[in-house]
């Protein structure tokens, strides 16, 4: 069997029915082999970074590794941002790069390059992958793909990179039977471990769950929901954990962190025990003042030992996969008829939410209030499978105010924080779910991968695109207001945005623009529910150029002290 034929057969056997790529000479053998399978869709993107973001989202939605291919040199290096996004946000992915022939590689020669487009992508990618594989012999290929696939799926999911020289791709090999590979089964701890956790929860008066993205990436989402329904514990989510419960779920408190719902941060302030599930407690969640948590009992469950007792010290740690944890603790709770009553505590949280509604955080805004808009558009989007947010103020307004229903996903670039993520990620999410998805992007981020409008049009994908256009880079502009006396270099000054409705029309995509509150209802009806609801559409929403993302932690102060009422005492990194 030709190596490239094996690669195609392996991908097919794993049930991966979509691959993302931008063609180049060093992957032509692989593309030709994959194309022989009618039930694998090859999606040709217009930039390798876009292919990597699409693979990222495909992996998050399906739980199986997304696959992206790129040629050597610039094609391979263009994948790096998306590889990093997968690594930081725990997305399973296989990145395959073509490499120049072995005899064209410089090896130990003291030169910069021998072959045309020869680039050591493996060394560049090593810090942001679970592993890289430099294939040097065709006989390695079967074991390499098996190891890479299992590594991507198991433990904390993430990306792997396989770099394959052109001459190896066309070599012939003997292969055995190709197996379907799945996640390994995890063994739960002894009952005593769960008893210790439950005893601490039961002894508290104001317990709360902090739910992170690990709940989705571990595949433990349904077990988590069972755990919450069984215990009745209130749930506060990180940015990547927003989709673990519907907005209207009685246990869902809201979104925590630097731009979190004010009432959710205040609830964390009053909590006496925090059960952290699949969250790494990064600075965007906790603020800079980690001493704030020293008065609280912290139970931290994570599959990666390095994340435990990292930024927040003196936690009771449970080093365990979440599937194993939920399986074990639910068995203990059910066997012992363990119960707690959180009704008074939940009443307090409800009072906080009523006192600090998200739609009142921008009381003097001119024109469309973005938080109000997020509520209205999501209230009418029950048929949508996923919301994909780019990076910027619009991302925070979406996290604060979208009303997700059961099963809807919320995808964004969390750890990498990559502008330009949303549009190509929507392609991956849409093809994974085979249902409509909604993009929420700012005018700045949308321009980074705007070329993928052609991919959406060519494939006639039901992707609904919202561009929140404030005609500046709003999150950085807000940062400049705080720390640079409103000197707007490169955010207002030296920056501009096009009319995105006209751009969409140029790509053959229907578009509208709205500027006032009274236009929202009819625009949303057109956007989501008219006769063309399975066609791509773009809605440009013009908002005040000075609209801030509030509330926001006053950097250097505790999580509960938020702008605009409190002022920062140190400089953050936006």
pLDDT interval class at 231 (50, 70, 90): very high
Torsion of the alpha carbons at 351, 357, 358 and 362, rounded to the nearest 10: -140
Q: What pLDDT is attached to residue 11? A: 98
**Token couple for 116:** 């045309």
Q: What pLDDT is attached to residue 113? A: 82
Q: Are 3-169 and 191-355 in the same CATH fold?
A: yes
Share of the chain above pLDDT 90, in %: 86
Q: What pLDDT is attached to residue 189? A: 84
Edge to edge, the sheet with strand 18-21 lists 41-44, 18-21, 66-70, 93-99, 159-165, 131-134
Residues 145-193: tens digit of each pLDDT: 999 999 999 999 999 999 999 999 999 999 988 999 998 888 888 888 9
pLDDT interval class at 414 (50, 70, 90): very high
Residue 64, pLDDT above cutoff 90: yes
Least confident of 65-74, 100-109, 291-300: 100-109
- Ordered by start, the domain boundaries in the chain are 3-169, 191-355, 359-550
Look-up of token digits 């079967």: 142
Q: What pLDDT is attached to residue 568? A: 85
Buried (b) or exposed (e) across 374-386, using 16+ Cβ within 10 A?
Answer: bbbbbebbeebbb
**Token couple for 454:** 């052609």
Measured distance CA(319)–CA(303) in Å, rounded: 5
Q: What would the CATH number be for the domain defined by 3-169?
A: 3.40.50.970
Measured distance CA(274)–CA(294) in Å, rounded: 11
Task: Report the candidate in 472, 464, 478 with the shortest Cα–Cα distance to residue 444.
Answer: 472
Residues 116-136: tens digit of each pLDDT: 888 899 999 999 999 999 999
Least confident of 31-45, 276-290, 427-441, 453-467: 276-290
Q: What pLDDT is attached to residue 115? A: 81
Q: Burial, 316: exposed, middle or buried (Cβ in 10 Å; 0-12, 13-18, 19+)?
A: middle
The number of residues in the chain equals 574
- Nearest-10 crossing angle of helices 48-62, 422-433: 40
Q: Burial, 84: exposed, middle or buried (Cβ in 10 Å; 0-12, 13-18, 19+)?
A: buried
Calculate mean pLDDT across residues 243-265: 96
Mean model confidence pLDDT for the chain: 94
Q: What pLDDT is attached to residue 573? A: 65
* Inter-residue long-range contacts of 354-358, CB under 8 Å, 24+ positions, other chains counted: 355/263, 356/261, 356/262, 356/263, 356/266, 356/551, 358/261, 358/262, 358/400, 358/401
Measured distance CA(176)–CA(146) in Å, rounded: 12
Q: What would the CATH number be for the domain defined by 359-550?
A: 3.40.50.970
H-run or E-run covering 208: strand 207-211
Residue 291, pLDDT above cutoff 90: no
CA 245, 248, 252, 256 dihedral sign is: positive
Measured distance CA(368)–CA(351) in Å, rounded: 27
Residue 492, pLDDT above cutoff 70: yes
Q: What pLDDT is attached to residue 531? A: 64
Measured distance CA(328)–CA(115) in Å, rounded: 55
Residue 319, pLDDT above cutoff 90: yes
**Residue 514 DSSP symbol:** E
Q: What pLDDT is attached to residue 45? A: 98
Highest mean pLDDT pick, 279-293, 326-340, 437-451? 437-451
Residue 511, pLDDT above cutoff 70: yes
**Is 374 in contact with 332 (CB distance < 8 Å)?**
no
Q: What pLDDT is attached to residue 279? A: 94
Query: Distance between the two ends of the chain, CA-based, in angstroms?
Result: 52
Residue 574, pLDDT above cutoff 90: no
Look-up of token digits 């912290």: 298
Calculate mean pLDDT across residues 441-466: 97
Q: What pLDDT is attached to residue 105? A: 84
- The CATH architecture of the domain made up of 191-355 is 3-Layer(aba) Sandwich (3.40)
Work out whether strand 159-165 and strand 437-442 pair parallel, antiparallel, or are unpaired. Answer: unpaired
Buried (b) or exposed (e) across 175-190, using 16+ Cβ within 10 A?
Answer: eeebeebebeebebbe
Residue 436, pLDDT above cutoff 80: yes
494: phi then psi, degrees, rounded to nearest 5: 80, 20
- Nearest-10 crossing angle of helices 191-203, 322-336: 70
């Amino acid at each position: 069997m030709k190596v490239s034929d094996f690669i195609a057969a392996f991908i097919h056997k794993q049930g991966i029915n979509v691959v993302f790529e931008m063609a180049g000479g060093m992957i032509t053998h692989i593309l030709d082999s994959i194309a022989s399978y009618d039930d694998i869709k090859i999606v040709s993107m217009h930039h390798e970074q876009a292919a990597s973001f699409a693979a990222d989202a495909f992996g998050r939605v399906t739980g199986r590794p997304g696959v992206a291919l790129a040629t050597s040199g610039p094609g391979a290096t263009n994948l790096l941002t998306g590889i990093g996004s997968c690594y930081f946000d725990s997305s399973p992915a296989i990145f395959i790069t073509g490499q120049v022939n072995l005899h064209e590689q410089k090896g130990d020669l003291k030169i910069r390059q021998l072959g045309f487009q020869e680039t050591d992508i493996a060394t560049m990618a090593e810090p942001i992958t679970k592993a890289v594989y430099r294939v040097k012999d065709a006989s390695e290929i079967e074991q390499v793909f098996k190891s890479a696939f299992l590594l991507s799926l198991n433990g904390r999911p993430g990306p792997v990179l396989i770099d394959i020289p052109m001459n190896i791709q066309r070599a012939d090999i003997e292969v055995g039977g190709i197996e379907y590979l799945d996640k390994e089964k995890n063994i739960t701890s002894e009952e005593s471990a769960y008893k210790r956790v439950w005893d601490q929860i039961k002894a508290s008066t104001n317990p709360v769950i902090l739910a992170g993205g690990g709940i989705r990436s571990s595949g433990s989402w349904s077990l988590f929901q069972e755990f919450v329904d069984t215990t009745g514990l209130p749930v506060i989510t990180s940015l990547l954990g927003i989709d673990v419960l519907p907005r209207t779920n009685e246990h869902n408190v809201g979104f925590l962190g630097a731009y979190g719902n004010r009432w959710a941060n205040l609830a964390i302030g009053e909590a006496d025990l925090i059960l952290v599930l699949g969250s790494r407690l990064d600075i965007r969640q906790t603020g800079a003042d980690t001493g704030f948590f020293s008065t609280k009992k912290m139970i931290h469950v994570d599959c990666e030992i390095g994340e435990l007792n990292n930024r927040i010290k003196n936690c009771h740690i449970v080093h365990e996969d979440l599937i194993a944890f939920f399986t074990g603790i639910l068995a203990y709770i059910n066997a012992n008829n363990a119960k707690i009553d959180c009704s008074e505590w939940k009443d307090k949280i409800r009072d906080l939410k009523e006192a600090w509604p998200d739609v009142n955080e921008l009381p003097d805004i001119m024109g469309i209030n973005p938080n109000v808009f997020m509520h209205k558009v999501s209230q009418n989007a029950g048929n949508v499978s996923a919301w994909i947010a780019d990076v910027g103020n619009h991302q925070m307004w979406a996290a604060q105010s979208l009303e997700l229903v059961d099963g809807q996903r919320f995808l964004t670039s969390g750890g990498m924080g990559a502008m330009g993520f949303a549009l190509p990620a929507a392609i991956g999410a849409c093809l994974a779910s085979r249902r409509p998805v909604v993009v929420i992007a700012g005018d700045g981020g949308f321009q980074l991968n705007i070329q993928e409008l052609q991919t959406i049009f060519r494939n006639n994908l039901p992707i609904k695109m919202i561009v929140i256009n404030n005609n500046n880079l709003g999150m950085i502009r807000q940062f400049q207001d705080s720390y640079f006396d409103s000197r707007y270099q490169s955010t207002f000054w030296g920056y501009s945005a096009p009319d995105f409705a006209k751009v969409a029309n140029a790509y053959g995509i229907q578009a509208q623009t709205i500027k006032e509150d009274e236009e929202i209802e009819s625009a949303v009806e057109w956007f989501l529910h008219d006769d063309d609801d399975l066609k791509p559409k773009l809605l440009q929403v013009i908002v005040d150029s000075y609209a801030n993302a509030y509330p926001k932690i006053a950097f250097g102060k505790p999580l509960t002290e938020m702008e605009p009422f409190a002022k920062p005492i140190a400089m953050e990194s936006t």
